[in-house]
Amino acid sequence: MEFVLLKELTLAQQHCKIRTRISRMWESTTPLLKNNILSLDCLLIDEEGYTMQATVRKFDADHFRTLLSEGDVYIFENFNVVPSRNTYKVVDRKYMVQISKWTHGVKYTCKGKIVGIDTTYGWWYKACYDCKGAVKDYDDNFWCARCGKNNQAPIPWYKLNSIVEDETGSTEFTIFGKVAQDLIHVPAQQLAIASNSDRFVLPPVVKNIIGQTYIFQILPDKRRASTNLKSFRVAKIFPTDLKIKGKNKEFENNLQEIEEEIVENTRAVQEIDDIVEEISPTQLLQST
Contact residues for Zn ion, defined by CB under 5 A = 128, 130-131, 133, 144, 146-147
* Strand 95-99 relative to strand 51-57, pairing: parallel
- Asked if 19 and 47 count as a contact pair (C-beta separation under 8 A), the reply is yes
Helix, coil or strand: residue 214: strand
Alpha-helix runs per DSSP H in the chain: 58-67, 177-184, 188-192, 204-207, 281-287
Distance between CA 185 and CA 27 in Å, rounded? 46
* Shortest Å, Cβ 147 to Zn ion: 3
Which residue's CB is nearer to Zn ion, number 146 or number 149? 146
Which residue's CB is nearer to Zn ion, number 34 or number 222? 222
Helix, coil or strand: residue 180: helix
- Any idea what the Cα angle at residue 33 is, between residues 27 and 38, rounded to 5°? 35
Distance between CA 201 and CA 235 in Å, rounded? 24
Which residue's CB is nearer to Zn ion, number 144 or number 269? 144
Which residue's CB is nearer to Zn ion, number 147 or number 219? 147
DSSP strands (E only) in 108-227? 109-118, 124-127, 135-138, 141-144, 148-150, 155-166, 169-176, 213-220
* Shortest Å, Cβ 150 to Zn ion: 6
* Shortest Å, Cβ 19 to Zn ion: 28
Closest residue to Zn ion, based on beta-carbon distance: 128
How many of the other CB atoms lie within 10 Å of CB of 179?
Answer: 18
Q: Of 174, 158, 86, 92, which Cα lies nearest the Cα of 126?
A: 158
* Shortest Å, Cβ 99 to Zn ion: 39
* Shortest Å, Cβ 146 to Zn ion: 4
Which residue's CB is nearer to Zn ion, number 71 or number 133? 133
* Shortest Å, Cβ 155 to Zn ion: 11
